[in-house]
A and B are shown apart, each in its own frame.
Chain A
Amino acid sequence: MKTHLLYVPLLLMTWACSQVPIEKPVLVSKSEIVSIPADTLSFNTSHSEWEAMLYTHIQPLKMRTHQANGRLMVFLLPGQGGILEGPARLELATGNRHFYYPVTVRNSVVKTGSMKDYRSPKTVNPDSALAQQRIVHIIDPARNLLELPGKGYFLEQELTLDPTVAVYRANADKPLTAYYVEPGSCVNVPVQAGYKKGNNSFEVVVGPLIDRHGNTVADGTLVTLTLRSGGKVWHLEENLQNGLVSRTLPAQKFIGFDVQANVQDRFSKTLKLSI
């Protein structure tokens, strides 16, 4: 039995010596930059059954291999989309042997980057400020940050917006980039009152109310009509619609009353309701 046991290490040594050492495949292409998927990396190797993995800065990508006549070809299937460009490592593996090759990868199919135009604030009230911050980047579909022509990777600007009320878009074809210029406060409160004989009433019209940039003041703005007579005061409140407020007052009740309109701290002249 002891004699047989002596054969075990001998057999193991024989087996170990029979294993052919795997040489590191030699990269044939000497170019440092590899364009994916156009370029195929070519290696000289006598061994077969290699697996290839490309470690970009972010993610490992399984590469396809093809071997013929002692040459190993490594490539990425087209149609898988672009990759994050930059330094990377290509791994060739067979069994428990792994070899690594430094490469710089870039996309061979150059796709136009889309411009990201971020605005802040999104809603501008011209009463306070028309200033808006703009941050711009260009990003390609593979999420590579691209250089802005002559401006590096980052651009920040301070814009002065047009005070005209509207919904604008930073990128005309992207609704998500919309920003809004809203109307400001009114500068004057014009008021008129006329007698209508047909229904024996006064029609008081306030407006049109416009802000200092000529925009119609926002719908829903509260307009207060103050009516005074003989030391007594009444308030009527109305919401602005299309810059106007109209109120009909029965003549037999309101004749001789003083009427004045106001929006917050802006007051109209005072009119006397008379026939």
Chain B
Amino acid sequence: MLRLFLLFLGLLVGVFLYFRVESQPPAPELPIFLRQDTIALAHHTSIKLSVLSKKTPSMAQQEQLRHDYADLWAHLNHLYATNDVEAGKEYYTEEWFRQLCKHYEGEIESRVSRTDSLHHLQIMNWSRDGLVCAAVDSNAILTYSYPDRSTRRVRTSLALVLLFQGDHWRIDAMRVLDEKEI
């Protein structure tokens, strides 16, 4: 009799614990400023900045652009290798993100990877309110690594539109102007 009672009690506790765990609300998504961007932290590149625009951004604005542009490339490289559209969404405008999602069929196993070692970002237009930046990256040195361990190094020239939204520069549009193997 006692054994039955203990079994019933154990069952009751088990059911109680099960429903308690089930009813827990999902962990809330942390705001961006509390999250650690491991992809950006692991990324290192060198960015030379030139100002060719009529309006010259302040040194603090230039530093933020340099920092965000480096982080953006960390995520663009990650996206290139994995098609993980979510990871870098803080560095994409809504329309850029929508465009990526049109071709999203799940993440892929990383076979081809890309690293960026050098950039020469030339600011062509800088809005007086500091929210729009049009730039040319005239000397992006990119290295592609393939599954057979071969690599390909290219010098790429890009035209970009970056918008300051939230507390980041985000990519809104791009045009590959030129690419040469080196």
Contacts and interface: CB of A to CB of B under 8 A. Distances in A.
Nearest to B55: A133
A105 to B, nearest CB: 10
Interface residues on B, range: 35 or more
B29 interface: no
B100 A98 contact: no
B100 to A, nearest CB: 6
Contact of B173 (A55, A91, A96, A137): A137
Determine the main DSSP class of A at the interface with B.
strand
Interface residues on A, range: 35 or more
Contact of A135 (B125, B148, B179): B125
Nearest to B76: A58
B173 A133 contact: no
A60 B179 contact: no
B103 A83 contact: yes
Interface in B91-106: 95-96, 99-100, 102-103, 105
A81 B103 contact: yes
A55, A82, A83 — most chain B CB neighbours (10 Å): A55
Given A98-B146, A153-B134, A142 B127 contact: no
B179 A87 contact: yes
Contact of A154 (B76, B131, B134): B134
Interface string B108-145: 10011000000000001101110110100000000010
Interface of A: 53, 55, 57-62, 80-87, 89, 91, 93, 96, 98, 100, 116, 118, 120-122, 133, 135, 137, 139, 141-146, 153-154, 156
